[in-house]
């Protein structure tokens, strides 16, 4: 699971994955804590900071699609390929706010992986196991031989 973290194409301040808890060819689960020091809290919203929905979607995509995509590519043993995973679509329903300091858990289940496209059903839960948001996110796996 550390191998997946090492291969994620993100770094701070745009890395929204702290830990991969479980992964197999059909699903992945990971965690992230939204530090109160993250810059976007300064203006979203004044005097009542809340994590923007686009950041929640990005967290779900990084764990649920990119993380699972890296795992699947590693299973294919294509070491000569450098893969990039780009989000192609998302449909997310937001149910509860996520406040600064909250640790969330993302669960993702593969719907399909074919023709270099990975589509997943993704859910995010807060530290009390309340469903925060859910949706379907898809990404295209771009293979680069350079």
Set 44, 96, 117, 134: catalytic member: 44
Strands 19-24 and 27-33: antiparallel
What CATH number does residue 23 fall under? Answer: 3.10.129.10
Q: Are 140 and 116 in contact (CB under 8 A)?
A: yes
Q: Mean pLDDT throughout 78-89?
A: 72
Tokens coding 119? 């589509």
> In sequence order, what E strands does the chain have?
19-24, 27-33, 82-94, 103-114, 117-125, 131-144
Q: Which band of pLDDT confidence, cut at 50, 70 and 90, is reported for residue 116?
A: confident
pTM (2 d.p.):
0.93
Q: What is the pLDDT of residue 81?
A: 56
Say if residue 70's pLDDT is above 60: yes
User: Catalytic annotation on 44?
Assistant: yes
Q: Rounded to an integer, what distance in angstroms lies between the CA atom of residue 67 and that of residue 2? A: 11
Q: Is the dihedral of CA 135, 5, 84, 52 positive or negative?
A: positive
Q: Are 20 and 5 in contact (CB under 8 A)?
A: yes
Q: What is the pLDDT of residue 125?
A: 98
Q: Which band of pLDDT confidence, cut at 50, 70 and 90, is reported for residue 144?
A: low
For the chain, how many structural domains are there in total?
1
Q: Mean pLDDT throughout 30-38?
A: 97
Domain that holds residue 62: 2-144
Q: Rounded to an integer, what distance in angstroms lies between the CA atom of residue 123 and that of residue 95? A: 11
């Amino acid at each position: 699971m550390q191998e997946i973290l090492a291969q994620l194409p993100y770094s701070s301040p745009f890395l929204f994955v702290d830990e991969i808890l479980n992964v197999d060819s059909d699903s992945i689960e990971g965690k992230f804590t939204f530090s109160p020091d993250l810059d976007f809290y300064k203006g979203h919203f004044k005097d009542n900071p809340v994590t923007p929905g686009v950041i929640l979607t990005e967290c779900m995509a990084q764990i649920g699609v990119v993380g699972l995509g890296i795992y699947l590519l590693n299973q294919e043993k294509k070491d000569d390929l450098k893969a990039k995973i780009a989000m192609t679509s998302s449909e997310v329903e937001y149910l509860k706010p996520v406040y600064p300091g909250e640790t969330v858990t993302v669960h993702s289940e593969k719907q399909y992986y074919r023709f270099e496209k990975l589509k997943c059903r993704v859910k995010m839960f807060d530290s009390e196991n309340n469903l925060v948001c859910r949706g379907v996110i898809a990404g295209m796996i771009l293979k680069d031989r350079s």
